[in-house]
């Protein structure tokens, strides 16, 4: 999540910079766009009595759909405001790439045309997963039932600290650029 926030800040700032429409609301929309796909996690939690566990990755069957949510949503938003549509596409697609590389048991990149899942996470023995049934089987065999334990048995969670560090660096750069723009 922290890396998604950092990427959203970068996307919002970059689009703001390159279009000449510098605004905090555009930058905030970049963060919003990178976080929106995970709203389905709240829906999943409500359906599962607020219990997080081995199959929490299944929340990705609601909004983690690049074609309808990323491209389709961006196209719809672009009818109202092309710049916001661009930020939406970039933000949601960045989130999907992040989840493909480092988050769970795959994304349905070609839904609704094709319902298979694609992942590049190192702990998955497969890069392509046919369906939800196969995804559950992999989670049972290779998953971590207590993945929410922040340290996973280690004294420090390197992944968490790295993402927090990236977010911190992006925020520092963002604040510096913002302050410089006030004096310019």
Sign of CA dihedral 58, 64, 66, 71: positive
| pLDDT value for 163 | 72
Distance CA(178)–CA(12), nearest Å, equals 13
| pLDDT value for 57 | 64
- What is the total residue count of the chain? 184
Q: What angle do CA 78, 79, 80 make, to 5 degrees?
A: 85
Which pLDDT tens digit goes with each residue over 149-179? Answer: 544 555 556 666 777 788 888 888 877 877 7
How large a percentage of the chain has pLDDT more than 70?
83
Q: Which residue has the tokens 């990755």?
A: 57
Number of domains into which the chain is organized: 1
| pLDDT value for 148 | 54
- Structure tokens given for 35: 């976080």
pTM of the model: 0.79
Which pLDDT tens digit goes with each residue over 87-142? Answer: 999 999 999 999 888 877 788 999 999 989 898 887 777 888 888 788 778 777 77
| Higher-scoring residue by pLDDT: 26, 106 | 26
Distance CA(138)–CA(43), nearest Å, equals 23
87: containing domain: 2-183
């Amino acid at each position: 999540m922290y890396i998604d926030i950092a990427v959203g800040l970068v996307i919002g700032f970059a689009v703001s910079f390159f279009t000449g429409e510098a605004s905090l609301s555009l930058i905030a929309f970049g963060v919003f766009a990178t976080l929106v796909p995970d709203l389905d996690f709240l829906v999943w939690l409500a359906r599962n009595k607020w219990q997080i566990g081995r199959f929490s990755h299944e929340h990705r069957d609601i909004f983690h759909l690049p074609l309808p949510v990323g491209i389709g949503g961006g196209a719809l938003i672009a009818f109202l405001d092309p710049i916001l549509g661009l930020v939406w596409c970039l933000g949601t697609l960045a989130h999907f790439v992040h989840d493909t590389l480092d988050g769970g048991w795959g994304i349905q990149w070609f839904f609704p045309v094709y319902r298979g899942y694609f992942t590049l996470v190192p702990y998955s023995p497969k890069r392509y997963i046919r369906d939800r049934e196969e995804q559950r089987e992999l989670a049972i065999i290779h998953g971590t039932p207590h993945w929410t334990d922040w340290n996973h048995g280690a004294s420090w969670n390197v992944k968490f600290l790295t993402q927090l560090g990236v977010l911190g660096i992006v925020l520092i750069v963002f604040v510096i650029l913002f302050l410089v723009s006030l004096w310019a």
